[in-house]
Amino acid sequence: MFLFIYRLPIIIHDSIIVALVWTLAIVVRYDLPLSPEIQGILWQSLPIVILIQSIILWYSRLYQGIWRFFSIPDIAIIFRAAIIGTLAIALILVLFNRLEFIPRSSLLFYPFFLIFFLGVPRLFYRLWYEHSFLLTTKNTQRVLVLGAGRAGDMLVRDMLRSPDGGYIPVGFLDDQKRLHGGKVQGVPILGTLAQLTEVAESLEIHLIVIAMPSATDRQMQQVVELCEKSKIPFRTLPKLDDIVANQVNLNSLRDVDIDDLLGRSKVQLDWQIIQAGLQQKTVLVSGGGGSIGAELCRQISRLNPTALVILERTEFNLYTVEMQLRQEFPQLQLHACLGDIVDPIAVSYLLSHYRPQVIFHAAAYKHVPMLQTQIREAAKNNILGTKILAEIAVQQGCEIFVMISTDKAVNPTNIMGTTKRIAEIFCQAMNKNHHTRFITVRFGNVLGSAGSVVPLFKKQIASGGPITVTHPEITRYFMTIPEACQLILQAGAMGKGGEIFVLDMGSPINIKYLAEQMIRLSGKVPDKEIKVIYTGLRPGEKLHEELFHSEEKLQPTEHNKILLADHRPTDYQSLIQALDALKLAVDQYADKQIMEILTTLVPEMTTH
């Protein structure tokens, strides 16, 4: 009913056109003036023709369209309605008066006249509107929207409500063929994404908007490649889980980032289980000022813990995360503590004072090439620091200890991976001999984390290149920081103790592809405007990383993004003796002895 009232002026216009067209179809067959018999038949048939044709035009959905977006699909609707209307009119008039005094040729002229007189006003209105619109809005951009779903609908609605915003939507592209020929907010759906370049050229598009927040990383890669071929600027909406309150508007638009191409599809979490494990509990995060640690703190703060304790050795990082959390969560009981996990006195004091029930251990050295020549510091921080924190956690009755590990701990070829593997072994051994539940979570590289390739590539692109890649075939697993932290929380809530959870990282990403995509997203051309050079594998670096050892049989869990790796048995007493020897070697700064102990504890380690 609302549509009928809203479109009533157009319906009246079309009814008048139908009346004139039917009259014209009769008149062209007879000489003027018309005889009284012909006039009588004309006036008798006119209400029937208007009624039948108006009903058919309504049910053909012609009135769902908007004149300023009149296009070929609308012409098709008019053509179809005219042909069906002619047949229906002929049938009714046969029953009415057997077509007496109504020439058969008039029925032939009628649909063509109707198509012309219904289409021409709409076409002229669109041309007039676009001309006047462009004259009054100098900076208006003609927008092509990719994705005719809910997000695209809300975005176009906001554009139409904000004529001063500088955007005019002229069409949609969507791969759902059932939508083709339809309209969203009066904007036509013109075809598939594969037609992007052709459509963009024909409609003189100034901006392409990707309105596909639920697209997978592979789908986004394909869409961005199409946009790049069109050589037209393009922007996107945030991913589905990043859209605030499920609202989409012009302020949501942003440039496409590398996270959009290499992230994963939305992770579904059981927040009730996660919150039940952390709500009303004191939680400590070691290394809480780092990339992973800081995001963990933000995620935990949303779950209403009794208190959050941050242990961080870098003053600036601690200050930064504290300010962010106090601003975002003013009611949170937050304790920002400057300290080092290798300082047993500080760790003992903090744990006895705050008595955390859950610990997320994110503190670690992780720079692979650097740690190759810093064996003592790597062993001291990653192994002995973990041992100190874990043992004091047990003494203070901590319920859950979640250690964050890395794919580099699998068949390690470097010092960093070896130290993290020993930390994994120690936590599993501790779980067997104490009441605290020790859980290990293992995953690969995190996009945008400190020391990762993404910030490095951005810096190199900003300085004009070149981008340095170690090897053209090198691959890495990638995950976004929020996704990794959410899965850590989920694994921590699922764990019963002693598990090594492996996060499903999807397919590994070629670093060369990553570099080239980042160059393209910056508006440059790879190997022309920004060079990509290969420097060779660095000390301790693998060509391809692994997420689990051949002896660790992976098993599914209740969460499809989290797998369980069967761990290998370890003799607890022998492990403790080896770690005591490691402590002595660290105190004596005996790198050779440290290396021997690492090799003994992780015999699969290979270095190059």
Residue-wise DSSP of 520-589: HHTT--BTTTB-EEE--PPTT--SB--SS-TTS-EEE-SSTTEEEEPPPP--HHHHHHHHHHHHHHHHTT
Rounded distance between C-alpha atoms, residue 515 and residue 456, angstroms = 10
Is 372 within 8 Å of 414 (Cβ atoms)? yes
Burial class from Cβ neighbours inside 10 Å (0-12, 13-18, 19+) for residue 502 reads buried
CA angle 127, 128, 131 (to 5 degrees): 85
Q: Give backbone dihedrals phi and psi of 403, rounded to 5 degrees, phi first.
A: -100, 130
Max CA separation in the chain (angstroms): 122
Under DSSP, the state recorded for 263 is S
Is 444 within 8 Å of 406 (Cβ atoms)? yes
408 is catalytic: yes
Provide the token pair at 236: 């996107």
Three-state SS at 311: strand
How far apart, in Å, are the Cα atoms of 515 and each of 86, 459, 507, 534, 540? 62, 12, 17, 11, 22
Counted residue by residue, the chain has a size of: 608
Catalytic hit among 281, 387, 408, 561:
408
Dihedral of alpha carbons 165, 167, 172, 173, sign: negative
**Burial annotation 125-152 (CB, 10 A radius, 16+ → b, else e):** ebeebbeeeeeeeeebbbbbbbbbbebb
Burial class from Cβ neighbours inside 10 Å (0-12, 13-18, 19+) for residue 394 reads middle
Rounded distance between C-alpha atoms, residue 565 and residue 586, angstroms = 31
Residue 53 CA neighbour count, 13 Å, CB half? 31
Rounded distance between C-alpha atoms, residue 586 and residue 419, angstroms = 13
Is 262 within 8 Å of 256 (Cβ atoms)? no
Stated as kind and residue range, the H or E segment containing 507 is none
3-state secondary structure labels for all residues of 203-255: CCCCEEEECCCCCCHHHHHHHHHHHHHHCCCEEECCCHHHCHHHCCCHHHCEC
Three-state SS at 433: helix
Name the β-bridge partners of 184: 187
Q: What is the CA radius of gyration of the chain?
A: 34
Catalytically active residues are: 408
